[in-house]
């Protein structure tokens, strides 16, 4: 199994309802390919964690990389993992608040995100994305 964490920046192509469409498509495709993870959209930027079988992660990441709805893809971590940390989520959008309460706003994801060592990455992302949005 492989885990990829990346950030990117939306383009005008994203349009209204674009994030919703991405989630809908992702839930369908990811469930069929044993892919799991979550997506945070904040300050016009994306933060995504993808976990699953090596081949499935490579294939979907290649597709995602070519998607005109975002740009400036920056891989923060790409590593083998023993198991997925996000079993219940084929792809879930997490609405994370920037500010002091951001850890609490992860809700049901707080445990898995912490366990997977992703908390510092989310914190850094929220810091920079909210700074950009301000």
Ligand X SMILES: Cc1cc2nc3c(=O)[nH]c(=O)nc-3n(C[C@H](O)[C@H](O)[C@H](O)COP(=O)(O)O)c2cc1C
* Interface positions with ligand X (CB under 6 A): 8, 22, 25-26, 29-30, 39, 46, 48, 50, 60, 63-64, 67, 69-70, 91
Shortest Å, Cβ 118 to ligand X: 16
Q: How far is the CB of 68 from ligand X (least distance, A)?
A: 8
- Cβ closer to ligand X: 44 or 63? 63
- What are the strands of the beta sheet with 45-52, ordered from one edge? 70-80, 2-10, 45-52, 36-42, 92-94
Compute the radius of gyration of the chain from its Cα atoms. Answer: 14
Give whichever of 20 and 104 is closer to ligand X, judged by the CB atom.
20
CB of 33 to ligand X, least distance (A): 8
Give whichever of 15 and 101 is closer to ligand X, judged by the CB atom. Answer: 15
- Residue 39 or 106 with smaller CB distance to ligand X: 39
Residue nearest to ligand X (CB): 29
50 vs 59, 70, 84, 99, 100, CA distance in Å? Answer: 12, 16, 9, 25, 26
């Amino acid at each position: 199994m492989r885990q990829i964490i990346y950030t990117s920046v939306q383009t005008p192509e994203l349009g209204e309802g674009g994030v919703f469409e991405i989630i809908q498509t992702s839930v369908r495709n990811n469930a069929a390919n044993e892919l799991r993870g979550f997506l945070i959209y904040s300050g016009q930027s994306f933060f995504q964690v993808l976990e699953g079988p090596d081949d499935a992660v490579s294939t979907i990441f290649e597709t995602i990389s070519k998607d005109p709805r975002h740009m400036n893809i920056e891989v923060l971590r790409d590593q083998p993992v023993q198991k997925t940390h996000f079993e219940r989520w084929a792809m879930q959008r997490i609405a994370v608040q920037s500010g002091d309460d951001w850890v609490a706003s992860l809700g049901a994801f707080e445990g898995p995100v912490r366990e997977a060592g992703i908390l510092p990455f989310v914190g850094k992302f929220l810091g920079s994305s909210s700074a950009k949005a301000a």
